[in-house]
Each structure stands twice: as C-alpha cells, then as structure tokens.
Amino acid sequence: MAHPKRKISKTRRDKRRTHYKAVAPQIATCKTTGEAHLYHRAHWHEGKLYYRGKVLIDNSVAAES
C-alpha cells in the first residue's frame, strides 16, 4: 500500500477539502437613513449608531455639548 513521503498539514488538507468560495458581501440599504451597510451589522450615520432602523447609540448630542 502506498504511503505519503511527508505528512500533509491540517491547513493544506482543509484547503483542499473546502467547498466554500469567496463571494461578494451582501449590501443592505437602511430604511431609516438610506445608508448602505452589511447585513446583520450596525452602522454609523451622522453620529448615531443604527441597527435594524433603530438608534442604538447617539453620539451627536454628546459632541454638541
């Protein structure tokens, strides 16, 4: 029975076995601000952090004081 001369590393083996391909990230448009952002990610717009159309953090008030 044939044997390999050298051990194949786990990284090299996994690279060969993978079926995942690089794809372009999906871009969503916020309904509230119209800003383009990645799906399932919060994004900043004019000093406010938005997620799913709602304001999570409002730094615009702190910046004015």
Q: Flag whether 47 is in a domain.
A: yes
Q: Flag whether 2 is in a domain.
A: no
Count of domains forming the chain = 1
The pLDDT score that the predictor gives to residue 21 is 75
Residue 65 has pLDDT above 70, yes or no: no
Where would I find the H helices in 1-65? 10-17, 60-64
Q: How does pLDDT run across 21-58, given as a tens digit for each residue?
A: 778 889 999 999 999 999 999 999 999 999 999 999 99
Domain that holds residue 38: 25-64
Distances (CA, A) of 4 to 9, 10, 14: 12, 14, 17
53 with 60: CB under 8 angstroms? no
Q: pTM for the complete prediction? A: 0.58
The pLDDT score that the predictor gives to residue 12 is 92
Q: Flag whether 48 is in a domain.
A: yes
